[in-house]
Structure 1
Amino acid sequence: MTNPKLLYAVLILLVLAGCASSPGGTDPSSRYTISQDRAPSGSFDASALEDARPRYEAPRRAGNKSPYTVWGKQYQVMSSADGYVDRGIASWYGEKFHGHKTSNGETFDMYTMSAAHKSLPIPGYARVTNLDNGRSVVVRVNDRGPFHGDRLIDLSYAAAKKLGYQSRGTARVEVASITVRPDGSMTLAGKRYPEAAAPVAVAEQTRETGEALYVQLGSFSQRSPADGLRDKVRQQTERSVRVRKVETASGLFHRVQVGPFGSADEARRAQQALASRGFDQAIVLTDSR
């Protein structure tokens, strides 16, 4: 007769076996201070968060060991993602892994548009479409997982929220690889990527669309905490800081933003500087002037 306590222990282990950011033959979960993954506390407005912007990145050894073994199962990394498209179940990972290293040595940030995949070369890019509501996002694949047998891809919490399934935990999705060649040309699942035209300079984009780059430090349903954060940020930067009220499908939000910035590099430098001063939820996004 099966021991009920043993069966219960096995089930618990299966629940906790999620994304392993350092593939190998050992249990990676011991590295984390939180035993079970969870969403960040408070309201996080992902509606204006930019998709990952595909660009050519030379192949690296980090994160691409093949084959590799996790939980006793062996996986192969594709030599090329060109033409890849598949459908399956997407999950997401968040606070448990936030701030820890991904498989290629980068730091996982649950507020950026990233993903983990068992076999796509990393770093790489993919378009992920929620088959239940038609929403799509572009993510940068920089991690390995998920290692549940029925899961195809693990998205960051932010990407899952943009696709509208963060509260349910999983969704049926289509994953199509975006291949970027050294000359900047792109293909989506082996076909020319329609958005692969030459990138528009930030200054031109700002003039034509009325949008600019900002570093967003928080988004609140109430005005008072937004004003409090704005005042705190003003003590840490000489840049302009604003609270922008925005109506979204999820309701009214008050966004605390620093900027505008004239280039993506300038915005990222400001993001890093603010993160070093304790504003670790800073994200770069395009928003209206």
Structure 2
Amino acid sequence: MSGTGFQGVVAGGANGAAGALRGFSFFFNTPLTVLVDAAPDDGSPSAAALALRLLAGIGRPRSGRVFVFDADPAADPALRRAIALLGDPVLLGAEDTADDPAGSARALAAVRDVPLTTVEPLLADTSSEGRRALADALANVERARLVLLSFPERYVDATARDAVLSRVRGAVERGAQAVIATRTLDQVLAFAPDDGAVGVILANGVAAAAAPAHALPWAVPADGLRTRAVRVVVSGAAKLAAELLADESVAKALTLIEPISSDEVRFHTRDPRALARAIGARAKEGLPVRALTVLGATAAEVLGGYR
């Protein structure tokens, strides 16, 4: 690819990849090549449709292509509609990749004109062939300028996980932009480097579906800021601010409430974990939080508040 020089994408399942890619399109107006794994990773038969709708909402990448694995549009009307919105992605059939991590790797490697690497399916493959494929993929990670990594809950091989994170750290040290896209908060805490060198996006399918195209589902930028600010996009931001002011455990640490719009507010606080915990509890009770960004803390430090 040309332009800004982004040379690789390491992507995962439909929800994780779409959420993270949408976040990057917000921060970087950059041509990207997109991989979407159409195999449902959340129990939904239209996980790929969700991913493609999100990508359509931010605009098709201005260069590169969209590849959809394990796609069966004939059996999924929602996927057909999403493809129509996005405009003819390249479909790789289920017969090539279904339930076959090594097959997925071979199919992806066959796409010679796009420097794209997938790691996620290989994490579950402990065979010698799978390990060799993972090693090849990790070599590509080291050369990547953009790393997009997803850890679904079914992949728990700690050795493979640590190997991936080590290479991601190396890529970041050489100037790559990187995120780890996960599905649960516990995974963020388990996989996020403690030093905050890699940003973390929790790509929650439900939150992503409800969020506007410009908003991240959940994000913790690791930009080294010293401020302790929490940006929240939520219907009824003023009401949330009033509730938090009435919550003594939260209010005592607030230093500033900065209204941005009717649906956005930024809280400055000395205790971001307490604030994160309070907002997380309200979200579980139905508060329509569309985006939450915590500035000035590592992922493990802040997201620990959601436990």
TM-score, normalisation: structure 1: 0.32
Q: Considering fraction of residues, name the structure with more strand.
A: 1
TM-score, normalisation: structure 2: 0.31
Q: Considering fraction of residues, name the structure with more helix.
A: 2
